[in-house]
Structure 1
Amino acid sequence: MMGRTHIIVGTGVSLSLLHMGGISLSIPAAAVAFISSVLPDIDEPNSLLVTRVLPNWLLRIVQVALIAAAAVVGIYGMENYPWNLILAALIAIVSFMPSRSLRQWVIFFIGLGLIVYGGSFHPWHLLVGSLLILTTFLPHRGLTHTLYGVGVWTFLLYGSTQSYGDAVWMAGGLSYLLHLIADSLTNRGIKPLPPFKWKLKFKLMSTGTKQGAWIEMFFIGATFIIAWIAFSPLFL
């Protein structure tokens, strides 16, 4: 499914179900549900989530910075010749990588930074950094599109957001799970429990096709109906 559909369905349905279940909602819960609805696609550098966090203009800045760094290493590192030129060439090569590959490298170094420096602020940063690095080596709809991914994300939220109440980790875990359920409707499906090769796929649609667009519209409409049922008593 398209990213915008995941956001509407994941956020809308998860918050509606929690509200109908008597769980008190909050702005942090809504924000986490929103992010969790597209988080499984973090393993795809061109996904909606990653391109919004690392837009093209930011990548251009990274490229310019890398070119400048290559020049500095090449010019001012002559005492280490020829290794300075080799390192400068490698940095320059990275700077000219396609946007998709460059985003993967940026995610990798963000994860590395969290591991090296983030642990002193919060121990969870070590785990988050490790997961970010891991996603750069995973194929799309790999480990992040499994029940293990749901469990790890829910566990992280449960351990780090207790001060905000149960709504946050519940909304995040449910919204993440709804993303997987939505992707199981596609022809490609998901492998929810690797290393088992069993795939969960209902073959109802293919993303980007006319039929797929109609099915996505149906689920968006169903989400608004569920939200109306859940929240309309607040306004009537």
Structure 2
Amino acid sequence: MMGRSHFVISTGLTMSALAIFNQPITIPAILITGISALLPDIDEPNSLIVSRTLPKGLIRLLQLLLIATGAVVFFSGVMPWPWNIGIAIAVGLFSFLPLRTLRNICMVGIGTSLIVVGQGIAPWNYIIGALLVVCVFLPHRGLTHTIYGLGIWAAILYFASHEVSSAIWIGGSLSYALHLLADSLTNRGIRPLPPFKFRLKFNLMSTGSRWGGVVEGACIGLTVIILVITFYTGRFQIYL
């Protein structure tokens, strides 16, 4: 299923569920729910969550900085010959790596920074940083599309927010789970409990196909209807 569809369906249904069960819908809860709706696709460099966090323009800026760094090393004389030539060429070649590869490298850099620096700020930064690094090397619809991935994310949210608001960890966990359920509608499905070969697959659609667009549109339409009903019954309130 496309990223935009995941965002609308998982976030909309989760917000409706929180309202129905009288959970306080706060701005942090909405933000975490939206992130969780896209989070399972973090193992795909061109997914919506990664491409919006590391947009093409930012990657192009990184490439320009790398080229500038190579030129400075080559012409400034800060490195003796022939090291200046070798480093300049290496940096230059590095800057022309494919977009998805550069995004993966950025994710490793961000994850490593969270592990090294963020741990002193909040202990969960260490776990999140480690997950970012690990996700770079995972195949798409791998660990992040399993019950294990859902459990890890739910545990992080619970221990980080249960003293603040139960709506944050409940909303984030439910939104993540709805993403997995939506992917189970496709012809590829998911493997929720590897190494067991069982695949949860309803085979109702193929992502990117015409029929797939119809199914996604129907799911989005149903989500909007549920949101409207929830809103007009007065159960949907945002607490600032």
TM-score (norm 2): 0.92
CA deviation vs aligned residue, 1:81-137 (integer Å, no higher than 9, x gap): 444443333322221011111111111111111111111211111111110000111
CA deviation vs aligned residue, 1:119-162 (integer Å, no higher than 9, x gap): 12111111111100001111111111111111111111111123
Question: 2: CA distance between counterparts of 1:73 and 1:45?
Answer: 30
Q: Give me the CA root mean square deviation.
A: 1.5
- 1:158 corresponds to: 158
Whether contact under 8 Å (1:18, 1:171) holds in the other structure is: yes
- 2:216 corresponds to: 216
Whether contact under 8 Å (1:146, 1:192) holds in the other structure is: yes
Stretches of structure 2 that go unaligned for 5 or more consecutive residues are 236-240
Given the alignment of the two structures, is residue 185 of structure 1 paired with residue 200 of structure 2, yes or no?
Answer: no
Higher relative contact order (Cα pairs below 8 Å, separated by 6+ residues): 2
Query: Helix, strand or coil: the match of 1:33?
Result: helix
Given the alignment of the two structures, is residue 115 of structure 1 paired with residue 143 of structure 2, yes or no?
Answer: no
Q: How many residues align?
A: 234
| Residue 217 of structure 1: how far off its partner (Å) | 0.8
Query: Helix, strand or coil: the match of 1:23?
Result: coil
Given the alignment of the two structures, is residue 172 of structure 1 paired with residue 172 of structure 2, yes or no?
Answer: yes
Question: 1: CA distance between counterparts of 2:142 and 2:232?
Answer: 38
Residues 193 and 85 (structure 1 numbering): CA distance in 2 closer, same or farther, change over 3 Å?
A: farther
Question: 2: CA distance between counterparts of 1:116 and 1:146?
Answer: 28
Stretches of structure 1 that go unaligned for 5 or more consecutive residues are none
AA in 2 matched with 1:70? G
- 1:78 corresponds to: 79
Question: 2: CA distance between counterparts of 1:29 and 1:147?
Answer: 22
Question: 1: CA distance between counterparts of 2:227 and 2:180?
Answer: 20
1:1-236 map, 5 Å: 1-75=1-75, 76-79=77-80, 81-234=81-234
AA in 1 matched with 2:3? G
Whether contact under 8 Å (1:28, 1:164) holds in the other structure is: no
CA deviation vs aligned residue, 1:50-76 (integer Å, no higher than 9, x gap): 111111111111001111222333443
CA deviation vs aligned residue, 1:1-55 (integer Å, no higher than 9, x gap): 1111101110010111121112121111111111110111111111111111111
Question: 1: CA distance between counterparts of 2:24 and 2:165?
Answer: 9
TM-score (norm 1): 0.94
